[in-house]
Amino acid sequence: MMELNPTIRKARIGDAETIADFNIAMALETEGKSLEKEKISAGVKNLFRHPEYGFYIVAEVDGQVAGCLMVTYEWSDWRNGLFWWIQSVYIHPDCRRKGIYRTMYSFVKKLALKEKNICGFRLYVEKENINAQRTYTALGMTECQYKMFEEITEQNHIYQKKQKLI
């Protein structure tokens, strides 16, 4: 395996379409879901408009974005601090298994050290994505005891209609 030496940085609004394309590819690859380009593009751009929700990190190789991830925030009253949730991780297939995620994760951890109230990192991964699970374990993350549940609210559906995203 040949390691790459990516440049890691916080994403800029100019990266939004690439991030949206990566999200579309990831959803199809990992869950067999087809995302609507207009909706996901609006969702990515909205995070740039609302930095209080989180931020994106991108990895560049030879001047091209080769990977990205999103960090969102979860307040923990038990720890009086924030967990940074790592989400929407995608590495271009040509660049996988070459250290890009490890480098992005290291960058995120260094950013967190500059903050006073970050208590940890969390992410979720598809049950079948064994390669990703091995990567996360190798980087020092451990599987936690929680299962994840969700319910998509009707308010979200109504909001998206008002925003003409559906």
Q: What is the CATH number of the domain that holds 30?
A: 3.40.630.30
CA distance 135 to 90: 13
Residue 1 lies in a domain: no
CA distance 51 to 45: 11
Band of residue 160 on the pLDDT scale cut at 50, 70, 90: low
Band of residue 117 on the pLDDT scale cut at 50, 70, 90: very high
Residue 58 lies in a domain: yes
Whole-structure pTM value: 0.87
CA distance 6 to 126: 26
Helices 37-49, 16-31: axis angle to 10 degrees equals 130
Band of residue 141 on the pLDDT scale cut at 50, 70, 90: very high
Residue 111 lies in a domain: yes
CA distance 138 to 50: 32
Residue burial 30-49, b: 16+ Cβ < 10 Å; e: rest = eeeeebeeeebbbbbeebbe
CA distance 91 to 58: 10
Residue 60 lies in a domain: yes
Residue 102 lies in a domain: yes
Band of residue 132 on the pLDDT scale cut at 50, 70, 90: confident
* pLDDT of the residue at 83: 97
Task: Answer for the pair 99, 138: CB distance below 8 angstroms, yes or no.
Answer: no
Band of residue 3 on the pLDDT scale cut at 50, 70, 90: confident
Question: pLDDT tens-digit profile of 57-97?
Answer: 999 999 999 999 999 999 999 999 999 999 999 999 999 99
Q: What does the block give as tokens for 20?
A: 């949206």
Name the pairing type of β-strands 81-91 and 7-10: unpaired
Mean per-residue pLDDT over the chain, rounded: 91
What residue numbers bound the domain in which 155 lies? 7-162
User: What whole-number percentage of the chain has pLDDT above 70?
Assistant: 92
User: What whole-number percentage of the chain has pLDDT above 90?
Assistant: 77
Count of structural domains within the chain: 1
Residue 144 lies in a domain: yes
